[in-house]
Chains A and B, each alone.
Chain A
Amino acid sequence: MTTMEDKVADRGAPSRTFDMVRQAGSGDLSRLAVLVVLVVLGQIITPAFLSLGNVHVILMAVAAIGIMAYGMTLVVITGEIDLSVAGIAILSCVVGGLLIPTGSAVLVIGATLATGLLVGLLNGVLVAAIGIPSLIATLGMLGISRALANIASGGQALYPEPIAAYLWLGRGAVAGVPVPVLLLAILGVAAILLTRYSTFGRALYATGGNVRAAALSGINTVAVRTVVFMISGVCAALAGILECARLSYINPAGLEGMELSVLAVTVLGGAALAGGSGSITGTLVAAVIIGIVNNLLNQMGVSIYLQQVVTAAVILAVVLPGMWRRGIVK
């Protein structure tokens, strides 16, 4: 891919590694600083801010976005992007939802996750094997999956009420911890282990840093990128289940524009769209920051539309520091 080579050439200064470390450092610090300030601010504004109930509310609100963002982070680390996550989530849930009359939880949930995996595989083949820029391939896939979801369901909402296990995923709790929050934590730990301590994780960063060098050093970059899109697809499908179970209905026109929110969380988490950097911890912190900001604004009675403006400002505030030291940025 010439794009990747150009980018690498542009950043090819000898001190690149140090630059990256320094930037990651300042980024992480500013993110943590923002988080601490927000928590203190929250406690001052509302005394019940750090109560267990409110913490659960905050985490519940960002569980689906956070899980999607895990998948997106892996994709972005390899230097690609996945705009199709919201479409995959809806299509998967509709495919699973069509099996609700069977009454089998395994079948419904299994079909949902399998659809996510399959569409992710398709994304991976289009991007890694055929070489279509991921922005285009997944943008097309977003349209296709949304369209298929509406065609398959006839535009009608589906109701997962007969499947108890399905609803439990969105509304249940284990030892007082809501299941979505638990999943956010478990998948977070799994993804951190995967990115930090596995060969696959190293291959991710290597592929994103310089795809040709990674390929020459024996990494199967086509397989790495394909797997990453498959993981993103499954994460999207699971997040879709959480949302549909929480609302207890599957709306084929739902999750409108969620891909951009997920992307915002990923970017806020420090993953550079050029690839080769980013971390799951950063993404998790970013998701919590967004959750807290929205929670505080809700408690202060700020309209949901002004919340969008504030969210945008928060992203800029976290992303800006350290930026001007960079060379050419596209």
Chain B
Amino acid sequence: MSAAGLASPSASRLGPFLAGLLRDPIVWLIVAIFAVGSLTSEYYLTAANIENLMRNIAVIGLLSLGMTVVLLTGRIDLSVAALMIFSVIVGVVLMAWLGSVIGVRWLVRGNTFAGPTLAVMGIALATGAFVGAINGIGVAYLKVASFIMTLVSLTALRGFNYVLTNGHPYYLKSPLFNWVGDAKLGPVPVSFAIFLAVLVALIAFVNGTVRGGRFYAIGGNEKAALYAGIKTARYVVLAFVISGICAAIAGIVFTARLKSVDAPLAAGYELTAIAIAVIGGTALSGGVGSPWRTLLGSVAFAAGLNLLAIWGVGTWYQNLAIGIVLILSVGLSKLSRKKVQS
């Protein structure tokens, strides 16, 4: 992977950036998927399918963006999928309880929530940040390995999800949920616009500021970063908070599309998020990768799955393909690097 390929776009570096882009295998993979798609199916490049594709990218892309920041520091966050559902459930349950305290019924017939949506979303975001902070503090200050810490929160949150919902789905009914889930800004679905906004914000922060660059420093050589005076623990916590917030936003977008939230939803999405970040070129050992490249990873992932679905390939064959592509993409890059070294 060339340094140019890892950098984010900016005006002064546009030339080398474009040159790096052309040498990047994942770009050609995306081009190939779209070329094959448009040749084999008349529906692939239709507006309806592209719109569908954008909605799919939004949810998994948001999860993978948060995951990327954590991976950059050399840590991992397994709790994202459980957290994305948990944060929305907390929002609904807390508001329903508040409603009952002030004497308003916001949880109406058939477990439908019809209260103030903005508050639910606010609570969801706060919950995401809070759980992320707990993960981060556990990893950075209590020194529990991130894999274990977030595995513990994954287990606990999945349990809480069932306890808080009593195993029944909550249905979400409000104009705002409908807007987030279904509306479009011109040709772009709102959910995808939200994803793009988060992407731009993260690129600006991670690749455009000194503070953001410290994630790379910590992932590259944590001891050196520490001795250079960086308060590494704070940045590790920050990475997990970012991941938590991204998970909460993904949860809001996901549940707004379904108009409901249910405990078993999104099971296994944490593994998809890791896979996308890795396909995008983020290294599990830290210090390598970027939000921008995760965008490419999520586009390749979603476009490939979408193509298989259009071809009528069954879900299990799709899962088979994901596994093989994941192993191949990392394996081939390993083999090519070995060749270069020898």
Kindly report which residue of chain B lies nearest to residue A267, judged by CB atoms.
B148
Name the interface residues of A79-126: CB closer than 8 Å to any CB of B: 83, 126
Contact A313:B156 (CB < 8 A) given known A263-B151, A323-B144: yes
Evaluate contact between A260 and B143: CB separation under 8 angstroms.
Answer: no
Evaluate contact between B155 and A137: CB separation under 8 angstroms.
Answer: no
Evaluate contact between A132 and B142: CB separation under 8 angstroms.
Answer: no
Residues on B with C-beta less than 8 A from A9 are 223
Evaluate contact between B326 and A147: CB separation under 8 angstroms.
Answer: no
Evaluate contact between A320 and B330: CB separation under 8 angstroms.
Answer: no
B25 interface residue (CB < 8 Å to A): no
The answer, among B138, B145, B285, B335, for a CB contact under 8 Å with A3, is: B285
Residues on A with C-beta less than 8 A from B167 are 305
Kindly report which residue of chain A lies nearest to residue B78, judged by CB atoms.
A260
Evaluate contact between B316 and A151: CB separation under 8 angstroms.
Answer: yes
Evaluate contact between B323 and A141: CB separation under 8 angstroms.
Answer: yes
B158 interface residue (CB < 8 Å to A): yes
Residues on B with C-beta less than 8 A from A264 are 151-152, 155
Kindly report which residue of chain A lies nearest to residue B236, judged by CB atoms.
A330
Residues on A with C-beta less than 8 A from B324 are 140, 144
Evaluate contact between A309 and B317: CB separation under 8 angstroms.
Answer: no
Evaluate contact between B144 and A319: CB separation under 8 angstroms.
Answer: yes
B34 interface residue (CB < 8 Å to A): no
The 8 A CB mask of A243-263 against B (1 = contact, 0 = none) is 000000000000011001001
Tell me what chain B mostly uses at the interface: helix, strand, loop, or mixed: helix
Name the interface residues of B300-339: CB closer than 8 Å to any CB of A: 314, 316-317, 319-320, 322-324, 326-327, 330-331, 334-335, 338
CB distance from B35 to the nearest CB of A (A): 25
A residues near B, CB below 8 A? 2-3, 6, 9-10, 83, 126, 130-133, 135-137, 139-144, 146-148, 150-151, 155, 256-257, 260, 263-264, 267, 272-274, 303, 305-309, 311-313, 315-316, 319-320, 323-326, 328-330
Q: Which of B14-22, B89-97, B267-275 contacts A (4 or more CB under 8 A)?
A: B267-275
Kindly report which residue of chain A lies nearest to residue B274, judged by CB atoms.
A139
B64 interface residue (CB < 8 Å to A): no
Name the interface residues of B251-286: CB closer than 8 Å to any CB of A: 263, 267-268, 271, 274-275, 278, 284-286
Residues on B with C-beta less than 8 A from A3 are 284-285
Contact A306:B159 (CB < 8 A) given known A257-B267, A330-B286: yes
A267 to B223, CA, bound (A): 25
Evaluate contact between B327 and A132: CB separation under 8 angstroms.
Answer: yes
A325 to B167, CA, bound (A): 41
B147 interface residue (CB < 8 Å to A): yes
B75 interface residue (CB < 8 Å to A): yes
B127 interface residue (CB < 8 Å to A): no
A83 to B148, CA, bound (A): 14
The answer, among B78, B143, B267, for a CB contact under 8 Å with A329, is: B143
The 8 A CB mask of B123-152 against A (1 = contact, 0 = none) is 000000000000000110111111110011
Kindly report which residue of chain A lies nearest to residue B263, judged by CB atoms.
A305
The answer, among A132, A143, A272, A308, for a CB contact under 8 Å with B158, is: A308
Contact A260:B155 (CB < 8 A) given known A139-B275, A144-B323, A305-B162: yes
The answer, among A126, A136, A311, A326, for a CB contact under 8 Å with B155, is: A311
B63 interface residue (CB < 8 Å to A): no
Q: List 24 A-B contacts (CB under 8 A).
A: A10-B222, A83-B271, A126-B327, A126-B331, A130-B331, A141-B327, A144-B323, A144-B324, A144-B327, A147-B316, A260-B151, A264-B152, A273-B148, A305-B162, A305-B167, A308-B159, A309-B155, A309-B156, A312-B152, A312-B156, A315-B152, A324-B141, A324-B142, A330-B222
Query: Number of contacting residues on B, CB 8 A?
Result: 56
Kindly report which residue of chain B lies nearest to residue A4, judged by CB atoms.
B285
Residues on B with C-beta less than 8 A from A151 are 314, 316-317, 320
A143 to B141, CA, bound (A): 34
A9 to B285, CA, bound (A): 13
Evaluate contact between B163 and A303: CB separation under 8 angstroms.
Answer: yes
A144 to B274, CA, bound (A): 16
B106 interface residue (CB < 8 Å to A): no
Kindly report which residue of chain B lies nearest to residue A1, judged by CB atoms.
B285
Evaluate contact between B156 and A308: CB separation under 8 angstroms.
Answer: yes
Residues on A with C-beta less than 8 A from B268 are 257
CB distance from A308 to the nearest CB of B (A): 3
The answer, among B146, B278, B320, for a CB contact under 8 Å with A143, is: B320
The answer, among A150, A273, A326, for a CB contact under 8 Å with B147, is: A273
Additional 16 contacts, C-beta under 8 A, given A10-B222, A151-B320:
A131-B334, A132-B330, A141-B323, A141-B327, A272-B145, A274-B145, A305-B167, A307-B159, A309-B155, A312-B155, A315-B152, A320-B144, A326-B143, A328-B222, A329-B144, A330-B74
Residues on B with C-beta less than 8 A from A263 are 151
Kindly report which residue of chain B lies nearest to residue A253, judged by CB atoms.
B316
A311 to B159, CA, bound (A): 10
CB distance from A225 to the nearest CB of B (A): 15
